[in-house]
Structure formats: structure tokens, C-alpha cells
């Protein structure tokens, strides 16, 4: 079944993106599975969608992508990515938009508060105002794993990074880390989360990774 990468150009697609993101987090295990309420409500999906729509409309360096299967329902979305292609130095005010902060009901979820705190610190330290290609979100519908959709979305952004001569940055789950390593990303540091603090079992990790640009062929 042929897969294609397209830019997201409508708010309707961003709702589908949000649904896939929530499902991917829930199925992935580790701390990601603790970030959303259970069961997920329409109101929660609406909140995620509104955040994506605002970012898509207001932030000039943000690109939302989707992978569609052209054999499913006339082109069903099965995966998505949010890239920040920042070609020039940002202002501190512009950089603030990528620093996640818990608000409202989020404050009642300690796993979410702790995870967002890690993301805030990592992005402040490694990205901040720098020109960079930042893979902020990469998610695949759990029913469509191992079809290469994630690799397609990753390669799109890395092609931009190489073209612009910019480093790539991301925060990797254990599931995604092997793919990122194959694509040239290298570990900078790894955060360990004790899941027993949140009523779950074991530990989880999230790894800060950076990739230097590869020379493009003339």
C-alpha cells in the first residue's frame, strides 16, 4: 500500500493528528502512557487540537506533516510529525513558544508536570534561540507501526537540515531511539523517570539527541 508525505494544510487534519498522538502515547508504554487521562474525552482531544491549530497558524517556523495511505479511505492519515525549521536566530519571546508549561488540569497529573519540566529544561539548554531543525513530535497510529511512516517523516526534516546546514534536535523515547541513531543522531544525555512515583511500575528514559548536518550533494 503506497504511503505519501504531505504538509498538513487544514485544521481538520490537525484533529486527526491529535487523535493519533494521544493513541500513540497511550500504546507506547513508559511515561508517555501516563500523560493523558483515561478514558480520553472529546474535550481532551479538542484541547490538543486547539494547541496544534494555534501553533500551525501563529508560528512561522512550524511545519506539520502527515503520512497518508492512498489505499485507505482515499488517503487516510496514519502518522504525523511536527518539525520546527528555524533558519535564523530567534528572539527569546519566540523561543518561549516551544517551552511546554503545565496549566489547568495538567497540574493534577504529576507525571505530566515532571515530563514537561524535563522538556522545558532540555529545549532551553540545547535549542533556545539557535537556528536548528527540531523534530518536536513524531507519532504513528498504533495500527500502522513498522510500515516506514516514521522514517519518511524523519527523512523529510533531515533533508531540510542538510540543505540548510543546520543541526537536528529531538527528545527520543526508547522505542524511537534506534531509528534516530540509524539516521545519525547522537545521545547528549538521558533522563530517567521512576514510574513508581506515578503509581506505575519500573523506570522509563527519554534521551536528548543531536545530529550534525551532512554535506549535500551538488
pLDDT at 177 over 50: yes
For residue 49, tell me if it sits in a domain.
yes
Residue 83 lies inside a defined structural domain of this protein: yes
The verdict on residue 161 lying in a domain is yes
If you search the block for the grid coordinates 540548510, which residue do you land on? Answer: 164
Q: 76-91: per-residue pLDDT in tens? A: 999 999 999 999 999 9
SS3 (DSSP) at 78:
strand
152 CB-near residues (< 8 Å, 6+ apart): 3, 5, 67, 79
Indicate whether 188 belongs to any domain. Answer: yes
Look up the CATH number of the domain holding residue 75.
Answer: 3.40.630.30
The pLDDT of residue 159 is: 97
For residue 217, what pLDDT is reported?
Answer: 53
pLDDT at residue 218, as a whole number = 45
d(CA 60, CA 111): 31
Question: Could you list the residue range(s) of the whole structural domain that residue 207 is in?
Answer: 3-211
> Is residue 218 in a domain?
no
Please give the average per-residue pLDDT across 195-199, as a whole number: 97
Give me the pLDDT at residue 216, please. Answer: 66
Average pLDDT over residues 34-49: 93
Domain presence at residue 216: no
Question: The whole model's pTM is what?
Answer: 0.95
In a domain, 85, yes or no: yes
| Tally of domains within the chain | 1
Tens-place pLDDT, residues 83-139: 999 999 999 999 999 999 988 888 999 999 999 999 999 999 999 999 999 999 999
Are 125 and 101 in contact by the 8 Å Cβ rule? The answer is: no
Amino acid at each position: 500500500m503506497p504511503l505519501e508525505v504531505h504538509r498538513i494544510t487544514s485544521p481538520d487534519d490537525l484533529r486527526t493528528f491529535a487523535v493519533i498522538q494521544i493513541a500513540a502515547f497511550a500504546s507506547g508504554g513508559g511515561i508517555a502512557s501516563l500523560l493523558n487521562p483515561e478514558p480520553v474525552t472529546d474535550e481532551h482531544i479538542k484541547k490538543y487540537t486547539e494547541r496544534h491549530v494555534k501553533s500551525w497558524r501563529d508560528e512561522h517556523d512550524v511545519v506539520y506533516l502527515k503520512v497518508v495511505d492512498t489505499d485507505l479511505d482515499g488517503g487516510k492519515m496514519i502518522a504525523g510529525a511536527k518539525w520546527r525549521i528555524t533558519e535564523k536566530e530567534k528572539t527569546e519571546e519566540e523561543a518561549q513558544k516551544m517551552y511546554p508549561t503545565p496549566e489547568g488540569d495538567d497540574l493534577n497529573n504529576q507525571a505530566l508536570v515532571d515530563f514537561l519540566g524535563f522538556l522545558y529544561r532540555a529545549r532551553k539548554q540545547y535549542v533556545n534561540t539557535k537556528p536548528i531543525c527540531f523534530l518536536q513530535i513524531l507519532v504513528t497510529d498504533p495500527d500502522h507501526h513498522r510500515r516506514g511512516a516514521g522514517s519518511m517523516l524523519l527523512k523529510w526534516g533531515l533533508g531540510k537540515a542538510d540543505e540548510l546546514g543546520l543541526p537536528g534536535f529531538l527528545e527520543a523515547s526508547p522505542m524511537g531511539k534506534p531509528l534516530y541513531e540509524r539516521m545519525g543522531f547522537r545521545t547528549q544525555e538521558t533522563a530517567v523517570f521512576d514510574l513508581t512515583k506515578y503509581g506505575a511500575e519500573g523506570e522509563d528514559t527519554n534521551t536528548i539527541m543531536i545530529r550534525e548536518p551532512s554535506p549535500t550533494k551538488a
